[in-house]
């Protein structure tokens, strides 16, 4: 079963709607701020308002799965509904679940999230390579079979990430690689590029590169443009990165970048018109 490859669909969305991706992070405090109940009903209303504000104005949304899992089966049912509604509205959906495991378990995660026949199916899924990049093999195969995408954690913005990501590849313990040695993150990024080959515009295997940590790529000799991976860049707005800093940081890879904004957009709620204004402002700032 195949469809138009994710990289092609994402490139078209960026061309039409720009670089903004809106994150759906319905944590309890956000629901309370919006005057919504801290349950599945509040979760559903939250999603409906965000989708109304985003449809026809941005190309991509990114639900944070943890905030739906928190409500048990009812929450996951809302996630499935929200995902389905988003697709019907023409939005691409990135499931931010950061799945990572080995063998048949990874294959099961991939089927759950990437097979279009399943209720949770998304256009792309965030995954963790830190059981070894090869552990992502079943997810890569599923993504290729279904025309879906993956966003592989590369250089994340959390301070603890450097302990692993900037260690010398093949070694342990060091918080940063020695001069001239390839980092773990560099190895991951190179292997993702190899899977993509040489796509005309964007590959299907992307990367998560924090907007506040992108400078580490240049510092460690990592070329983010090789293999044309789509890049999901959290950290804009509420986390401190400005549009100018992001464009400069990603430089030659800028046309591959999808900039996520969650709190920066959602804090404008609960009114749909205010969310629409926030989306428009962010789009103009980035583009």
- Token code pair at residue 191: 């292997």
The answer to whether residue 30 sits within a structural domain is: yes
From the list 279, 268, 237, the residue with the least C-alpha distance to 54 is 279
Query: Per-residue confidence at 76, pLDDT binned at 50, 70, 90?
Result: very high
DSSP E strands, the chain? 20-24, 60-63, 92-99, 124-127, 149-155, 205-209, 231-233, 257-261
Q: Write down the pLDDT at residue 176.
A: 47
The 10s digit of each residue's pLDDT in 13-71 is 999 999 999 999 999 999 999 999 999 999 999 999 999 999 999 999 999 999 999 99
Find the range with the poorest average confidence among 7-16, 72-81, 241-250. Answer: 241-250
Q: What are the percentages of helix, strand and coil residues in the chain, rounded to 5? A: 50, 15, 35
Q: Write down the pLDDT at residue 173.
A: 44
CA 222-178-235 angle, 5° bins: 45
Q: How far apart are CA 244 and CA 249, in angstroms?
A: 8
User: Which of 62, 87, 98, 141 does the annotation list as catalytic?
Assistant: 98
Q: Write down the pLDDT at residue 174.
A: 44
The answer to whether residue 286 sits within a structural domain is: no
Q: Is the pLDDT of residue 207 over 80?
A: yes
The answer to whether residue 157 sits within a structural domain is: yes
Q: Tell me how crowded residue 42 is: count the other CB atoms within 10 A of its CB.
A: 20
Q: Write down the pLDDT at residue 63.
A: 98
Q: How far apart are CA 273 and CA 282, in angstroms?
A: 14
- The DSSP call for residue 182 is P
The answer to whether residue 22 sits within a structural domain is: yes
Find the range with the poorest average confidence among 25-39, 145-159, 232-246. Answer: 232-246
The answer to whether residue 287 sits within a structural domain is: no
The 10s digit of each residue's pLDDT in 212-222 is 999 999 999 99
Average pLDDT of the segment spanning 249-266: 95
The 10s digit of each residue's pLDDT in 82-138 is 999 999 999 999 999 999 999 999 999 999 999 999 999 999 999 999 999 999 999
Q: How far apart are CA 179 and CA 175, in angstroms?
A: 13
Name residue 236's beta-bridge partners: 241
From the list 91, 83, 87, the residue with the least C-alpha distance to 65 is 83
Residue range(s) defining the domain that contains residue 125? 6-281
The answer to whether residue 1 sits within a structural domain is: no
Q: Is the pLDDT of residue 180 over 60?
A: no
User: 87 an active-site residue?
Assistant: no
Distance separating the N- and C-terminal Cα atoms of the chain = 35
Q: Write down the pLDDT at residue 287.
A: 84
- Token code pair at residue 2: 């195949």
Cα dihedral 274, 250, 228, 84, rounded to 10, equals: -20
Instruction: Give the 3-state secondary structure of residue 55.
Output: coil
Find the range with the poorest average confidence among 104-108, 156-160, 244-248. Answer: 156-160
Query: Per-residue confidence at 171, pLDDT binned at 50, 70, 90?
Result: low
CATH code where residue 43 lies: 3.20.20.70
Q: How far apart are CA 117 and CA 114, in angstroms?
A: 9
Number of folded domains that form the chain: 1
The answer to whether residue 89 sits within a structural domain is: yes
The answer to whether residue 222 sits within a structural domain is: yes
């Amino acid at each position: 079963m195949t469809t138009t490859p994710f990289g092609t669909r994402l490139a078209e969305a960026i061309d039409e709607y720009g670089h903004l991706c809106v994150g759906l992070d319905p944590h309890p405090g956000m629901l309370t701020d919006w005057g919504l109940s801290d349950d599945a009903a509040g979760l559903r209303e939250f999603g409906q308002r965000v989708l109304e504000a985003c449809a026809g104005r941005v190309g991509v949304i990114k639900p944070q799965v943890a905030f739906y899992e928190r409500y048990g089966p009812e929450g996951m049912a809302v996630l499935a509904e929200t995902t389905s509604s988003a697709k019907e509205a023409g939005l691409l959906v990135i499931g931010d679940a950061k799945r990572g495991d080995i063998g048949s378990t990874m294959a099961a995660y991939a089927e759950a999230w990437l097979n279009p026949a399943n209720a949770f199916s998304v256009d792309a899924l965030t995954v963790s390579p830190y059981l070894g990049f090869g552990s992502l093999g079943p997810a890569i195969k599923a993504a290729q079979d279904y025309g879906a995408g993956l966003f592989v954690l590369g250089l994340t913005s959390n301070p603890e990430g450097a302990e692993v990501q900037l260690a010398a590849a093949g070694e342990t313990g060091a918080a940063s690689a020695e001069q001239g040695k390839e980092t773990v993150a560099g190895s991951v990024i190179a292997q993702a590029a190899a899977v993509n080959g040489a796509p005309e515009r964007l590959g299907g295997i992307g990367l998560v590169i924090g907007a506040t940590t992108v400078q580490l790529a240049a510092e460690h000799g990592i070329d983010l443009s090789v293999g044309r991976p789509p890049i999901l860049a959290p950290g804009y707005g509420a986390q401190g990165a400005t549009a100018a800093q992001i464009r400069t940081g990603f430089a030659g890879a800028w046309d591959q970048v999808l900039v996520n904004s969650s709190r920066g957009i959602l804090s404008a709620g609960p009114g749909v018109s205010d969310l629409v204004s926030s989306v428009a402002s962010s789009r103009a700032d980035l583009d």
